[in-house]
Amino acid sequence: MSIEQEEQSDIAKVRFFAQGYHVWRGRAARLGFFVLLIGVWQVAASLELWNEVLFPHPKEVADAVVLGMRDGTLPQAIEASMRRLCMGYGISLLIGIPLGLLLGRKRLLDDTVGSLAVGLQALPSICWLPMAVLWFGLSETAMQFVIIMGSLMSITLAVRDGVKTIPTLYLRAAGILGATGWRFYWYVLLPASLPAIITGAKLGWSFAWRSLMAAELLYVTSGIGSTLMMGRELHNMALVVAAMILIITIGLLTDRLIFRFGESFIHRRWGFGGRD
Partner 1 sequence: MTMVELKNVSRVYLGQSGPVYGLSGFDLRIAEGEFVCIVGPSGCGKTTLLNIVAGFEPPDLGEVLIDGDKIAGPGTNRFVMFQEHALFPWLNVSQNIMFGLKMAGIPKREREERTAALLKTVNLSDFSTAWIHELSGGMKQRVALARALIMDPEILLMDEPFGALDSQTRDMLHEEVELVWQRTRKTILFVTHNVREAVRLGTRVILMTAKGGKILREYPIALPRNRFLEDVEVVKIASQIRDDLRHEVLRAAKEEGYHVD
Q: Which residues bind partner 1 (CB under 8 A)?
A: 167, 169-170, 172-173, 175-179, 183, 187-188, 191-192, 194, 268-272
Q: What is the nearest approach in angstroms of partner 1 to the Cβ of residue 68?
A: 44
Q: What is the nearest approach in angstroms of partner 1 to the Cβ of residue 265?
A: 10
* Residue with Cβ nearer partner 1 (72 or 191): 191
**Residue 117 contacts residue 156 (beta carbons within 8 Å):** yes
Q: What is the nearest approach in angstroms of partner 1 to the Cβ of residue 145?
A: 35
* Residue with Cβ nearer partner 1 (50 or 270): 270
> What is the b/e burial string over 4-14, where b = at least 16 CB atoms within 10 angstroms of the residue's CB?
eeeeeeeeeee
* Residue with Cβ nearer partner 1 (33 or 182): 182
* Residue with Cβ nearer partner 1 (50 or 170): 170
Q: What is the nearest approach in angstroms of partner 1 to the Cβ of residue 18?
A: 24
Q: How many residues does the chain have?
A: 276
Q: How far apart are CA 31 and CA 147, in angstroms?
A: 33
Q: How far apart are CA 115 and CA 118, in angstroms?
A: 5
Q: How far apart are CA 86 and CA 99, in angstroms?
A: 19
Backbone torsions φ then ψ of 122, nearest 5 degrees: -75, -15
